Amino acid sequence: MTAPEFHQSGIRDVDFGARVKVVEPCNLYGCRIGDDCFVGPFTEIQKGAVIGARSRVQSHAFICELVSIGEDCFIGHGVMFINDTFASGGPARGRKDLWRETVIGNRVSIGSNATIMPVRIADDVVIGAGAVVTKDITAAGTYAGNPARRLRGT
């Protein structure tokens, strides 16, 4: 029997703004987190991801590469961002050229356990808990369901 290969989680190579609060344990690496942000425990934010000022990322969230979150946003517990669309019929398996970006506007609130595919979400949007966002959201309002659809405007 061979010994397992261990990788340490932790915080490394992060560009932190002022007055950021991080509750460990979490896995943050190569990302940028703006001023006055909060990051809850059991959260992973991967390299190249950007979290705008005054945003809150609650526990158990996963923010992968190619995700940019605007200012004054709320990311609920267990929110999952996806960058692999399975465009080749299966996982990209390290082929980052197949990954796609996600851009979240300002003042966006995403409810717990939502899944966000590679999309663009406009400013002033609320995504309901458990929603699955599969297409760009270009107008402010409240969206929910699987797939997410507009329930009402602002």
Angle at 75 between CA 72 and CA 78, to 5 degrees: 170
Domains with residue ranges and CATH for the chain: 11-148 (2.160.10.10)
Structure confidence by residue, pLDDT tens digits, 114-138: 999 999 999 999 999 999 999 999 9
Q: Are 30 and 14 in contact (CB under 8 A)?
A: yes
Tokens of 119: 């999309």
Longest dimension (CA), the chain: 59
Gyration radius of the chain over CA positions: 16
Q: Give, for all 154 residues of the chain, the pLDDT tens digit.
A: 899 988 777 999 999 999 999 999 999 999 999 999 999 999 999 999 999 999 999 999 999 999 999 999 999 999 999 998 888 888 888 788 888 999 999 999 999 999 999 999 999 999 999 999 999 999 999 999 999 999 987 6
Which positions ≥6 away from 75 have C-beta within 8 Å? Answer: 55, 56, 57, 58, 61, 63, 69, 110
What local confidence, expressed as pLDDT, does residue 98 receive? 82
pTM score:
0.93
